[in-house]
DNA sequence: CCTTGACCTAAAGTTAGGTTTAGAAATTAC
DNA sequence: GTAATTTCTAAACCTAACTTTAGGTCAAGG
């Protein structure tokens, strides 16, 4: 198979460390768009290795797949992304991460206060109803401290 | 219903802001153990309000329910936990949170490096295979950068 | 040519953390 | 004493992010 024919899904899986099934799933989610060869098999560009790597890194940072798709849409569609293109959209990740760290740090500081006062379970506790509550990752509780209880 | 009869599940739900179904679910997961009244209905101690509050806070910090159950097992079983008891087990949360902040901070710093060098997708990139990779929250990817790819 | 391994699709299964539903029994309110 | 709430259990359903399975096709080696 010549280089210009692109990578088969198994090869891409090896290069990225992802499972073949995961790559197909990402396609279904609109994160990557291979073409098909004469026999109907998926073929990928070498640049897709980088694309999937970005997906994996963004996941580590807590983005959902729809969010990642959104970020990736900032890449040029008409040409292979340059390193500069990648650096550009990585800045969005950086901001996202800064915010997460910020939120967690504030939660931690509130916990310090609560350890001091032992007020757990009271509505006046800063932890109990923080405005900047951590966005629940994935399928967390639906009603996480949503309504202000009376006591 | 006299005070000594305990709280009905709906009352506990109001006090904590949780859904009734969530409280029953937590019982199934071993996080809380009400007794039953003559009619077979669940009855809770007032201290359980605090217990559930702790559960909610620990969830914000990223602990899973099994982890929270583990932490709660550090409470005395033979008596109502004192504020001091709660402060004691809160220290574990603090450590957990510190570690999470640490991991994220290092990830962020690695990202900074990568923005500089544009090496995304290369195995030598510090982001690509960090030893301290963020624990996947909930039902994330199974093979998150698990095996070292060749290129 | 034939076999083996990689690939295809569609659908069902998995985990975490719950919610919803259905039908019945207990409690509370008037 | 009856009507309206609450609560009960068990089982099914939900989302995210995948994996597994089943049954069939494509591609590469000898």
Q: Which is higher by pLDDT, A107 or A132?
A: A107
pLDDT, tens only, A42-77: 999 999 999 998 998 888 888 899 999 999 999 998
Q: How far is CA B147 from CA A9, B137, B150, in A?
A: 17, 19, 9
Q: How confident is the model at residue A2 (pLDDT cuts 50, 70, 90)?
A: low
C-alpha torsion sign, points B77, B93, A123, A117: positive
pLDDT, tens only, A118-132: 565 544 555 555 433
Give residue B3's pLDDT.
55
What phi-psi label fits residue B42: left (phi over 0), alpha (psi between -120 and 50 degrees) or beta? beta
> Cβ distance B17 to A148 under 8 Å?
yes
Which of B15, B91, B120 lies at the smallest CB-CB distance from A54?
B120
Residues of B in Cβ contact (< 8 Å) with A118: 83-84, 86-87
Q: What is the DSSP string of B46-93?
A: THHHHHHHHHHHHHHTT--HHHHHHHHTTS-SSSPPPHHHHHHHHHHH
C-alpha torsion sign, points A142, A146, B1, B3: positive
pLDDT at A134 over 60: no
> How many Cα atoms within 13 Å fall on the side-chain side of residue B107?
29
pLDDT, tens only, B15-64: 999 999 999 999 999 999 999 999 999 999 999 999 998 998 888 888 89
Question: What is the Rg, in whole angstroms, of the alpha carbon atoms belonging to chain B?
Answer: 21
Instruction: State which residue of chain B sits closest to A120, comparing Cα positions.
Output: B50
- Give the count of beta carbons closer than 10 Å to the beta carbon of residue A102: 12
Which of A59, A133, A150 lies at the smallest CB-CB distance from B141?
A59
Q: How far is CA A140 from CA A37, A136, A137, B99, B138, in A?
A: 42, 5, 6, 21, 8
Q: Tell me if chain A has a CB within 8 Å of the CB of B95.
A: no
Q: Which is higher by pLDDT, B83 or A35?
A: A35
Alpha helices by DSSP H, listed for A29-123, are 47-60, 65-72, 83-117
Give me the residues of A, 115-134, that contact B with CB < 8 A: 115, 118, 120-121, 127-128, 133-134
Residues of B in Cβ contact (< 8 Å) with A151: 15
Give me the residues of B, 53-92, that contact A with CB < 8 A: 53-54, 56-57, 59-62, 83-84, 86-87, 90-91
- On average, the pLDDT of chain B sits at 77
């Amino acid at each position: 198979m010549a280089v210009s024919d692109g990578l088969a899904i198994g090869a891409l899986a090896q290069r990225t460390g992802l499972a073949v099934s995961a790559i197909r799933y990402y396609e279904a989610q609109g994160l990557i768009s291979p073409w098909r060869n004469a026999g109907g098999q998926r073929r990928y560009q070498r640049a897709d290795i980088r694309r999937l790597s970005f997906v994996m890194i963004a996941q580590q940072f807590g983005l959902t797949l729809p969010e990642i798709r959104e970020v990736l849409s900032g890449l040029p569609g008409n040409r292979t992304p340059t390193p500069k293109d990648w650096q550009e959209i990585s800045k969005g990740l950086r901001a996202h991460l800064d915010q997460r760290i910020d939120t967690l740090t504030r939660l931690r500081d509130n916990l310090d206060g609560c350890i001091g006062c032992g007020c757990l379970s009271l509505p006046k506790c800063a932890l109990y109803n923080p405005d900047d509550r951590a966005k629940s990752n994935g399928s967390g509780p639906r009603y996480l401290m949503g309504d202000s209880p009376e006591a």
